[in-house]
Amino acid sequence: MHIVFLITLGLSAVQTMPQSCELEWIVLGAGQDAGVPQIGNPDDPAWEDPGLRLFATSAALVDHTTGDRYLFEATPFITDQLALLDALAPSPLPGLGLSGIFLTHAHMGHYGGLMFLGFEAANANAIPVHAMPRMAAYLSNHGPWDQLVRFDNIRIAAIEAHAPVVLSERVQVSAHPVPHRDEYSETVGFVIRTAGRSVLFLPDLDSYEEWEAEFGVRVEDMVAQVDHAFLDATFFDDNEIPGRDMSNIPHPRVAASMDRFDALPDEGRGKIVFIHFNHTNPVRFTDSPQSREVLQRGYRLARRGDRICLDP
């Protein structure tokens, strides 16, 4: 086990890593794009209890031997998330200490934080932003994002599906297209492979059935190829939003996902970490019956501050 004890930092219970861990994956947020509490929901208990707040889904890959830190998603909560990352895994590199950012798609909770890299805020210096072709073109040709490119706050690093981006001798990242609402860009998940471990980061897609039908990919096969699989858990079931036909809001439901994945062996189920919780999803509460059910059935739930060592 790499986790040794819990400490309290700000609003999060976070896990400390032993100094021997060289490559680390850190969860910086587990919420849906708008986080928790959400705008227009004055009765949410998170207004009164900061411990219930959720940042939008994001994670960091940290190489402690070089100081390199790679952010996966640039959320509107990036200010708080980088502060958390600085507390957990400070970098000796200049500026924001980011060696790159990987984006899955152009929905607000996944790239909106880029605005804070601009002239009005961090005025960052040439941070590489790894994005698929449509996403890269969108950022380069549409305001306000194109100003980040013109001012050299970010440098677009276009990537291709399934073509590994080699970050070092020990780390590479590959993009895997998935079906989703693609108004402005493609949508991908990422597989991060180190010399010892691997992570699938897939916070957003319409359905596993469409993934197989359109792209020929079975989610079970992807889970089998990695050590940790962070999967879309936007909604728990179809009873979450009264008065709305939730069949019009595609996302795998946690309850249905568990029914599907129950056929996996214990080891396979233990790889699956649910992430990207809508404010209506009861698994956002650690003591809810739904959260207990997920854990009892052998799955995991992402929480801000979770840390996974990716060493051999």
Q: What is the pLDDT of residue 244?
A: 74
Predicted structure pTM score = 0.93
Would residue 43 count as lying in a domain? Answer: yes
**Residues 6 or more apart whose Cβ sits within 8 Å of residue 135:** 103, 105, 106, 111, 184, 185, 186
Exposed, middle or buried: residue 212 (CB in 10 Å: 0-12, 13-18, 19+)? middle
Q: Which residues of the chain carry a pLDDT beneath 50?
A: 1-14
Q: What is the pLDDT of residue 8?
A: 33
Q: Are strands 154-158 and 127-131 parallel, antiparallel or unpaired?
A: parallel
List pLDDT tens digits, range 15-63: 556 568 999 999 999 999 999 999 999 999 999 999 999 999 999 999 9
Which helix (H) or strand (E) segment holds residue 70: the answer is strand 69-72
**Residues 6 or more apart whose Cβ sits within 8 Å of residue 164:** 172, 173, 174, 193
Would residue 1 count as lying in a domain? Answer: no
253 within 8 A of 238, measured Cβ to Cβ: yes
Provide the residue type at 219 as one letter: V
260 within 8 A of 208, measured Cβ to Cβ: yes
Would residue 78 count as lying in a domain? Answer: yes
As a whole number of angstroms, the distance between CA 282 and CA 292 comes to 10
Q: What is the pLDDT of residue 174?
A: 98
Q: What is the pLDDT of residue 9?
A: 37
Would residue 112 count as lying in a domain? Answer: yes
- Where do we find the tokens 């359905």? 207
Counted domains in the chain: 1
Q: What is the pLDDT of residue 16?
A: 58
**What are 179's two structure tokens?**
């079906």
Indicate which CATH number applies to the domain containing 158: 3.60.15.10
Domain membership of residue 160 as a residue range? 6-309
Mean of all residue pLDDT scores within the chain: 92
As a whole number of angstroms, the distance between CA 29 and CA 219 comes to 23
Q: What is the pLDDT of residue 246?
A: 76
